[in-house]
Chain A
Amino acid sequence: MMLNPSDGLPDDRKSLYPQSQSSAYKCGDKTSPISVILVSSGSRGNKLLFRYPYQKVAECPSSLSAKQRNPYVLNTSGDELDDQDGDSREQSPLTDEQLVAGFSDIVLSTILATKSDMCGKKFELKIDNVRFVGHPTLLQHPPIIQVSKTDPSPKREMPTMILFNVVFALRANADPSVISCMHNLSRRIAIALQHEERRCQYLTREAKLMLAVQEEITTTETDGSPQSPFRQILPKCKLARDLKEAYDSLCTTGVVRLHINDWLEVSFCLPHKIHRIGDTYIPPEALERSLKAIRPYHALLLLENEKTLLSQLPLDCSPALIRLIKTCSAVKNLQQLAQDADLALLQIFQIAAHLVYWGKAIIIYPLCENNVYMLSPHANICLYSPLAEQFARQFPGHDLPSMLAKFSLPVSLAEFRNPLEAPTQEAQLIQMVVWMLQRRLLIQLHTYVCLLVPPSEDEPGLRDEDPPLAARVGGRSLSTPSALSFGSPTSSDDMTLTSPSMENSSAELLTGGDSPLNKRMTETLLASLSEHERQFILNIPAAQNPEDLRMFARLLHYFRGHHHLEEIMYNENMRRSQLKTLFDKFRSVLVVTNHEDPIISIFQSPMD
């Protein structure tokens, strides 16, 4: 950016900026790109091959047009950015369109076509309010260039392209995660283009077409009326249409699917557009954290109906994916799904994470009658919302607000059951609950339990100094097969289809008999407590029953408020009634509360 103190801008040009600013803001929000640009650098210098949209681009920095005061002035090398090839740049008169659009083609080609040693890395450049992000890629030509028979160009000598860069221009204040996603897309397109170039010189051919159209337009522009060469390029070049499609998709749905040269598929999704609840989006890092924490007792809920989803898949997609989609259901947990679809649990996790990332599914706790649901704080309960309309169409005779009102207080599905009603009513209720879960209107509440022993009366100070149980027992890791890292799968030993294996298997404690072994185990487990706590617990009437005490000691490490009832049931293979009775017996030292599961609540409500 150049600051020219002796700014000789005529007044009418100055007034253009507010206008171009307002029109630039019309297109999309912070997660949408402002423009897509393709530049190349080669033996003929730096070229801007294509840009879209060609009318409204970045906000114009006032100083840039200072250079373009007079459209007939030659561009001198007062430009301090070096032209690495040292070639003279072709001079073309700048049209009004290009001026209004902010950065001119020539400036863009200079700044975006980098040197070769910046290739293969992330490229990011911010100028005032615009941020350019791309992945410059080096092209390697085979030593003998075959002149393709289908090459339309009459010239025998092929100007070589050394590198190219697919650049997305974003608003400067875009989120870093959006920037790295755009870089990812640029890289994907670059890989496809590089491959096609090696195979059949696709990029060189498209570039030639683009440049030919640009030259044609400038030479025929004798009457001074500006035409955008890029508009003419679109019908002639597939690559230009692909780039335009990428831009349009990014601005609307966030899902990009291109077929470079009608051959290579490039697919990409922008999580910020897909995972939106109202106005806010779920940041991808939060999404990934949640996905890493899913457990075999969770379930996968598809957000679209099975047929629609299957039709969206490419022809050569993995059969495992198809099998999973066909077998998954809201009442089946992932472990059951693995058995039914005949796939390894690890694979199920990976495919599930993939579907969630692409916004095709969410993670829930499998539907069962003991599940307790409540209205989500972010649910749109407005009478005139599009959701209300959809609901009325899907379930005639019912209206959404009345249904939602039923979930004002936490209610379990069992409470809806009416033995006098026909079973179809119940089935419809399940469908309605699934519908509401898919649209993030409901959250599920779980019971969490925390051990807090009443402080001793005589030594109040001591109690407060004891670190809470959570801190003391923190070292133990509950490693049920859950670890899912993107990239390095855990060993398949952990991912068995049989019962979960726990490192600190407290299942070793035999439930029968009061053997000295069991007693010692109980003592060891209680050893992590302070003396006062242990005494208090042992004095509880329920503790006199060795079975109960043993169960309590065994489950001690769950009582930190981070594991809900269903998780304990799953890990320890216990019944709900057993646990509830235990909690009741030891209620003088346990504090129980209900709230949503923070791991999967991200799918219902964005991070606050």
Chain B
Amino acid sequence: MGKKLIGCPVCIEHKKYSRNALLFNLGLVCDARTNTCSLEPIVKKLSGYLTTLELESGFISKEESKQKLLPIMSTLLEDLNATGACTLPIDESNTIHLKLIQLRKDPPIVQEYDVPVFTQCKDHFIKSQWDLTTQQILPYIDGFRHIQKISAEADVELNLVRIAVQNLLYYGVVTLVSIFQYSNVYCTTPKVQSLIDDKSIQEECLNYVTKQGQKRASLRDVFQLYCGLSPGTTVRDLCSRYSQQLQRVDERRLIQFGLMKCLIRRLQKYPVKVIRDERSRPPRLYTGCHSYDEICCKTGITYQELDERLENDPNIVVCWK
């Protein structure tokens, strides 16, 4: 048949019915291949409503009111397909409101060293629609401040900030990138070719990375810059090597865009203490599971300090990935 049926049967037992029970089921017929998870709450809600209506005023069992079902059902079908929401007036005192809610994937855990960045222009969002915590941290989300910094500057507890940003992540309002430093190392991913293949990403990119007030950067320059990122090359190195290309390009926004669209990825440093003697304590942070970003955030020391400490330790190797 190729179709899927979604229904929620209801049985109301009562002596007044001609079989001591009324059974009914309002269902939706969909194509077998579509994802219908978001329709299920609607079917359930409808069956609940109809049950209440029946119990209160015999809506379904009475002939006159039963006629109203047909226009209700056709409105339901048309409006849900057109806009995803519908309003069904039943009688003077009852109206049913239904809306399709998109189910989204669970968002990842937000760490204190992650940096949230808006996926669309900030001004598109009506601040008053968000909760108080989010409203308080919104001005500090600029794509460069990490969670710990936002928490400190906005004076909001760290875990609250993490939860608020996770919520924004769920709705696709922000995405996470890593902290920007000129000593960071990045490399290209296979997706970088989409800059060449996909016109819309090209346009978006060139508009995003061009320096304010300058003529639009050329695709070649931007692509060369991305391709210039490779293991062993810091952003500082890139700037000195490609200074000509960077005349019209803001390197910070270049990196930001690259990370947001997964054209490039950050190479993080992970120190591992290769155990040499049995007497010393087992390493807590230098196990290969914690990056420099994380260690610096947690302990409060800077990259340079950490670098100096670890370079002098012969027992520690550093892996980049």
Contacts and interface: CB of A to CB of B under 8 A. Distances in A.
A3 B319 CA distance: 58
A455 interface: yes
A116 to B, nearest CB: 15
Nearest to A377: B321
Interface in A1-27: 1-6
A596 interface: yes
Contacts of A458: none
B145 interface: no
A598 B51 CA distance: 54
A62 to B, nearest CB: 13
A67 B288 CA distance: 57
Given A452-B220, A464-B219, A5 B51 contact: yes
A155 B44 CA distance: 49
A4 B23 CA distance: 10
A78 B320 contact: no
B199 to A, nearest CB: 8
A383 B230 CA distance: 26
Interface stretch (A318-326, A399-407, A488-496): A399-407
Nearest to A469: B196
Interface stretch (A157-165, A256-264, A587-595): A587-595
B9 A2 contact: yes
Contacts of B190: 595-598, 601
A401 B321 contact: no
Contacts of B188: 593-595
A121 B59 CA distance: 39
Nearest to B275: A383
Interface residues of A, number: 54
A383 B270 contact: no
A401 B51 contact: no
Interface in B277-321: 283, 287-289, 317-321
B21 A463 contact: no
B10 A450 contact: no
B21 to A, nearest CB: 6
B141 interface: no
Contacts of A467: 199
B40 to A, nearest CB: 9
Contacts of B262: 608
A454 interface: yes
Interface in B21-48: 21, 23, 35, 37, 47-48
B223 A452 contact: yes
A374 interface: yes
Interface in A428-452: 448, 450, 452
Interface in A520-570: 560-562
A376 interface: yes
A209 to B, nearest CB: 36
Given A382-B289, A595-B188, A399 B274 contact: yes
Given A381-B270, A382-B287, A408-B319, A560 B196 contact: yes
A598 B273 CA distance: 33
Contacts of B51: 3, 5
A408 B320 contact: yes
B197 interface: yes
B272 A562 contact: no
A376 to B, nearest CB: 7
Nearest to B55: A5
A468 interface: yes
Contact of A409 (B8, B12, B231, B265): B231
B238 interface: no
B288 A595 contact: no
Given A377-B265, A404-B319, A595-B190, A383 B218 contact: no
Given A410-B231, A448-B193, A375 B223 contact: no
B58 interface: no
A427 interface: no
Q: Which of B21, B55, B287, B317 has the most chain A CB atoms closer than 10 A to its own CB? A: B317
Contact of A78 (B11, B197, B215): B11
Contacts of B317: 401-402, 405
A111 interface: no
Contacts of B193: 448, 450, 470, 560-562
Contacts of B283: 383
A343 interface: no
Given A561-B192, A591-B220, A595-B188, 6 more contacts: A2-B9, A3-B48, A561-B196, A594-B188, A595-B190, A608-B262
30 contacts: A1-B9, A2-B9, A2-B10, A4-B11, A4-B13, A5-B10, A78-B13, A173-B37, A382-B287, A382-B289, A383-B274, A383-B288, A401-B272, A401-B319, A402-B317, A404-B319, A405-B317, A408-B318, A409-B232, A450-B223, A452-B223, A454-B218, A464-B216, A468-B219, A469-B196, A471-B197, A561-B192, A595-B188, A596-B189, A596-B190
Interface of B: 8-13, 21, 23, 35, 37, 47-48, 51, 55, 187-190, 192-193, 196-197, 199, 215-216, 218-220, 223-224, 226-227, 230-232, 262, 265, 270, 272-275, 283, 287-289, 317-321
Among all A-B residue pairs, the 7 with the closest Cβ atoms: A593-B227, A408-B320, A598-B190, A405-B317, A381-B288, A561-B193, A401-B272
